[in-house]
Homo-oligomer: A and B are copies of this chain.
Amino acid sequence: MIRAGIIGATGYAGGELVRLLLGHRNVEIKWYGSHSYIDQKYASVYRNMFRLVEDVCQDDNLTQLARQVDVIFTATPQGFLASALNEDILSGTRVVDLSADFRIKDVAVYEKWYGIAHKSPQFIPEAVYGLCEINREAMKGARLVANPGCYPTCSILSIYPLLKEGLIEPSTLIIDAKSGTSGAGRGAKVANLFCEVNESIKAYGVASHRHTPEIEEQLSYAAAEPVILNFTPHLVPMNRGILITAYASLKKLPQPDGSLALPTEQQIRSAYEKYYKEEIFVRLLEPGVCPETRWVEGSNYVDVNFQIDSRTGRIIMMGAMDNLVKGAAGQAVQNMNLLFGEAEDEGLRMPPLFP
């Protein structure tokens, strides 16, 4: 049995971790950490867990926790893990961090976009960016996994094969993203009240959202050149789900006769298949079918597809996933499975819930 502790168990991502780990054959949750609800029964905060979880919420004590568990999930505000992490902790347990603290390799970039000083940059080099489909090998043996952000997961997986295969112009990339409201967290803010979110849609963090450099870094690896792009998130009146609509100009490819031509639908398809054919959780949809968030809700799937616009020479890449599962807790479990040699989809086999 893998003994697990969750720091930040009463946020939405933490709650989803509990749901998923309860269904994992080989995990036992030993610690429900929650700064806000210390000493309260976990099931009184998340009543869906009534009679399923008897534990009481505990303080966020990483050092104490590291001695008791095999893996710690930190679903905490930015800066928390960077402030608390030390060698003692990492030598006693594995850490899967759902915050952004160790996702970005360049400390200066992190500090600029997040507006805080990074308190333990010495651990950044060893942190593995936990996007399993791309970094699977690097995960083995890792002590510290930086679980990707929700927007980056969906964005990167939707775009990666085309950049990697040199089929699109990196400098033309634009990502227009739409997210359900659970991505905004469980904090009591007027802007997230039902009546403020319901029956409305808006862009936010335009040209300034913190997931931008994370996406750029990962896509730069794929493109083997620096990628600078536009990323615009939108808030959608629904609980779960992220949809990515990404735009890029297709590169013209040399033809047998020496001319240049846009890639064909089949060439694009083959690029996606090359990287995702064996993947459990990435579903390349059938031609012409657009991803919709309703078809992945509650599951770890990312549905991707594309449409070529020959009029403009652009391609529209689309991806849909559940921000709390593949975008947070599900991917964290997937990472844990890799770390501990479990089947990658253990605990993650539930089909999407519809409607």
Copies in the complex: 4
Asked if A188 meets B190 with Cβ closer than 8 Å, knowing A48-B299, A229-B312, the reply is yes
Which residue of chain B has its CB nearest to the CB of A41?
A: B286
- Determine which residue in A194, A234, A247, A293 has the highest number of CB atoms from chain B within 10 A of its CB, and name it: A194
Q: Is A312 touching B352 in the complex (CB atoms < 8 A)? A: no
Counting CB contacts under 8 A, is A116 at the interface?
no
Residues 268-294 of chain A, each 1 if its beta carbon lies under 8 Å from chain B, else 0: 000000000000000101100111111
With A23-B349, A312-B228 already in contact, the answer to whether A198 and B239 are too (CB < 8 A) is yes
> Are B292 and A200 in contact, CB atoms less than 8 angstroms apart?
yes
Is A192 in contact with chain B by the CB < 8 A criterion? yes
Q: How many residues of A contact B (CB 8 A)?
A: 85
The 7 closest A-B pairs by CB, nearest first: A200-B294, A48-B352, A202-B292, A195-B355, A207-B309, A194-B197, A176-B176
- A contacts, CB < 8 Å to B: 12, 15, 18-19, 22-23, 44, 46-52, 174, 176, 178, 180-182, 186-190, 192-204, 206-207, 228-230, 232, 234, 236-241, 243, 245, 247, 283, 285-286, 289-299, 303, 307-309, 311-312, 314, 316, 318, 320, 349-355
